[in-house]
Copies of this chain bind each other. A is one copy, B any other.
Amino acid sequence: MITGEFRYSLDEKNRLMIPARIRVEIPGNSIILTRGVEQCLWLFTHEEWKKVCQSLVGSTSLFQEKARLMQRRIVAPAQETEVDRTGRIIIPPTLREFAGLKKECIILGIQSYLEIWDEGSYTAYLAENESRFKEAAEEIGNKIAL
């Protein structure tokens, strides 16, 4: 997809705007929505989702506890959502609650997928992790000349 950080608000029908810039990159007007690792939602194109699934399902077994956990936590909650003709998607209730979406939401474009955060949670997440981020940045600085 594409990158960018956008703020949109959830309306009273639980609809959320997908930024026009990002929308044009979504093939077929439909997208897969699931739980993210942190308190956010992940959105994938069908193609990307296939890759995620294959790497999760393909390399694991029904008879391994950790594998089942990953399946339940990432694969199971996934739902396909249509982008309506004005560019909005409907966030299913269980996913909305999981991500704690209230009104103001942040949409992140991270190249091959998107994330949706509640604005408050996202701000808190970044604040909590700022020092960790700076450490990681230093590390990269030591490895790479940029």
* A contact set with B: CB distance below 8 Å: 3-7, 37-38, 51-53, 55-57, 62-63, 65-66, 68-73, 75-79, 92-95, 106, 108-113, 115, 125-126, 129, 132-134, 136-137, 140, 143-144, 146
Contacting pair B137 A76 (CB below 8 A): no
A113 contacts which of B62, B115, B143 (Cβ < 8 Å)? B62
Contact check, B144 vs A69: say whether CB atoms are below 8 A apart.
Answer: no
Q: Tell me whether B136 and A70 are in contact (CB under 8 A).
A: yes
A to B CB contacts below 8 Å, 11 in the list: A3-B76, A37-B133, A51-B146, A52-B146, A62-B113, A69-B132, A72-B125, A72-B126, A73-B133, A76-B110, A77-B108
Of B4, B77, B129, B143, which is within 8 A of A3 by CB? B77
So how many copies of this chain end up in the complex?
2
A76-B3, A140-B56 known; A68 vs B109 contact (CB < 8 Å):
no
Give me the 8 closest cross-chain CB pairs, A-B, nearest first.
Answer: A76-B108, A5-B77, A3-B78, A5-B94, A4-B79, A55-B144, A76-B110, A73-B133
Say whether B4 contacts A78, CB under 8 Å.
yes
Q: How far does the Cβ of A30 sit from chain B's closest Cβ, in whole Å?
A: 13
Residue of A55, A62, A70 with highest tally of chain B CB at under 10 A: A62
A72/B132 in contact, CB under 8 A: no
